[in-house]
Structure 1
Amino acid sequence: MAETRVALVTGANRGIGLEIVRQLGRLGVMPIIASRELDKGKRAAEQLASEGLEPAVVQLDVDDPQSIATGVANAKDLFGRIDILVNNAGILIDGPSSGAPTVENVPLSIVQQTFTTNIFGPLLMIQAVLPTMKEIGYGRIVNLSSGLGQLSEMGGGYPAYRMSKAALNTLTRTLASDLGHGDIKVNAMCPGWVKTDMGGPEATRSPEEGAETAVWLATLDDSGPTGGFFRDKKQIAW
């Protein structure tokens, strides 16, 4: 890239999000850690500072529309632009630890909370940053989805999470189609089963591996794809 790009990464104080920030910073991108709790974001930034990186930090809770508006405004105030948005923040609260509910018995409250974080949050983030991307004539939007949201391989269990990620994939394709093959590229990716607080210690992938495809999509050149779903830098079925 000929100029320094600015990337806003949600849920970036730990796990895959923090690793995305780390890898983007190493590529010369100016990353912004968006963290629900500002202190945790600052501690993450201090960790990266010890590695020679200098990410910025903003407080941003994707469950709160006002927090999104304020956080995006603060990010724009820091650098005057947002070139890259990585919608990383997400929750999985209908797994074994919550009794492994099915469609038959999953509480509506769990579905509502999951959709608030996993789909409404990304939608509002996109709406907040898109005007700036259109103004500067450049944008990369990366939505962290999951194989559990693939309709082509849909299974049972995790109903709220599966539905939310399928909806996120729909958002990805719809926005990409709305924008066309221009200067703003929108893609979804599956990081795989990653050793994070969500994935647990038995997961088969490291955060470094989980972040790699997101970073690739965040830094696509002008000939790169839009409107796709990727794992390991390869397109996969919806």
Structure 2
Amino acid sequence: MTASARAFALFYAASHSHIDVTDAFSTNTDQNKVVMITGANKGIGKEISRLVGREEDSFALLTCRDLSLGREAVLDLRQTSEAEGVEWDGELLPRPLDLDDHESIRQAIGWVEHEYGKIDVLINNAAVCFNSPTLYGRVEHKTFEEQADITMRTNYFGTLEVTERCLPLLERSSSPRIINVASYAGRLAILRSQELVDAFTSETLTVSELSSLMDEFVRCVNDESYTSKGWPTTCYGMSKLGLIALTRVLARQHPDMMVNSVDPGYCCTDQNNNQGPVDAADGAYTPYLLTQMECDEASGEVMSGLHFYEQQEIPWTYEF
């Protein structure tokens, strides 16, 4: 494990109100940690895979929809690492994993179970983004109504299905964790109703209730009542808000797992037509470090149900 990874471990300040994850060190001793990354053929997912595969005790399992692009990514990761004199350990899952295809998800996770028997880390990175005033996805134009359905179905419900199918495999790990790649676009402030804020931040919220809320957003978009009811005008942001809420729910329901969300920053990727000012490699760094951190042995505390940005825990409100 690298020094930077060792530096990224649980540290609770006396107030327990802020965590700087560079203030302590990890004592992880697991070997051959299987880290599965969705949407890993390019951008942030590929860069996370690069960092994970260079850890001596970690194995990067890349997944994507287009296997030809995935093979190109793996070849590049191996060649660039070799050119730098670094060993990279990983492979492409030889089944497409499409968040919008139930059978694709079933077959992909089934292959992982057959070949590896477990997953130590699941990184939910794959997502779809459509053109909007602030988001520049390279996709054909869709109406806002079409965007709402596709975006929630893919980014939230597809990610949820992958996660639920992976849970039995994660439970076989000695140190399981889920890392959800979220975004500033999913900050609480996009909700314009206190009732909605209260619903999404409720400490008793369940996955079923959360999914109903996500469905309600799509229904309100379809009947054009979403603005009057306090819903946001961004489908991508709404999907990421749901993902952060899901992180908190899963952390409560699975106290033996580390379940966290992370904002990689506005990275230069195809998703925003390469307009982001942050290099994808920099955006990948905090998710990568979350794969390596461990709980604090002294306190027994587990870093879970939290949201991170630039190696620190931050509030979901983004108010510092």
TM-score of the two chains, using structure 2 as the length reference: 0.68
Which residue of 1 is the match for residue 68 of structure 2?
A: 39
Q: Quick one: higher RCO (CA 8 Å, sep 6+), 1 or 2? A: 2
Aligned to 2:247: 172
128-137 vs 201-210, greater mean Cα deviation: 128-137
Q: Deviations over 1:82-112 (max 9, x none)?
A: 1110000011114249999xxxx96322101
Amino acid paired to 1:75: V
1:45 and 1:54 in contact (8 A); partners too: no
Bigger-Rg structure (1/2): 2
Counterpart amino acid of residue 45 in structure 1: V
Q: Please tell me whether residue 48 in structure 1 is matched to residue 85 in structure 2.
A: no
SS in 1 for 2:63: strand
C-alpha distance in 2, partners of 1:218/1:228? Answer: 14
Unaligned runs of at least 5 residues, structure 2: 1-27, 83-87, 193-230, 297-301
Q: Name the structure with the higher strand share.
A: 1
Selected match of 2:92 from 57, 66, 72: 57
- For the 8 Å contact 2:184–2:265, the answer to whether it is kept is yes
- Deviation at residue 158 of structure 1 after TM alignment: 5.5
Question: Distance in 2 between the 1:122 and 1:98 partners?
Answer: 20
C-alpha distance in 2, partners of 1:221/1:99?
A: 36
Q: 1:41 Cα shift?
A: 0.8
Structure 2 residue aligned with 1:84: 121
Distance 1:222 1:144 in 2: 20
Q: Does 1:190 align with 2:263?
A: yes
Closer, same or farther in 2 for the Cα pair 1:136/1:121, shift >3 Å? same
Q: CA deviation at 1:15?
A: 0.4
Q: What SS class does the counterpart of residue 198 from structure 1 fall into?
A: helix
Distance, in Å, in 2 between the alignment partners of 1:152 and 1:237 is 12
Amino acid of the structure 2 residue aligned with 1:87: N
Q: Percent identity?
A: 30
Q: Deviations over 1:22-49 (max 9, x none)?
A: 0001123101110101111111111112
Structure 1 unaligned blocks of 5 or more = none
Question: In the alignment, what sits opposite 1:13?
Answer: 41
Partner in structure 2 of residue 74 of structure 1: 111
**Structure 2 residue 269 is the aligned partner of structure 1 residue 234:** no
Counting matched residue pairs gives: 232
**Do the aligned residues in 2 keep the contact of 1:194 with 1:200 (CA within 8 Å)?**
no
Distance 1:74 1:207, change over 3 A: same
2:234 to 159, 162, 173: 159
Say if 1:98 and 1:196 are closer, same or farther in 2 by CA, change over 3 A.
closer
Give the TM-score normalised by the residue count of structure 1: 0.90
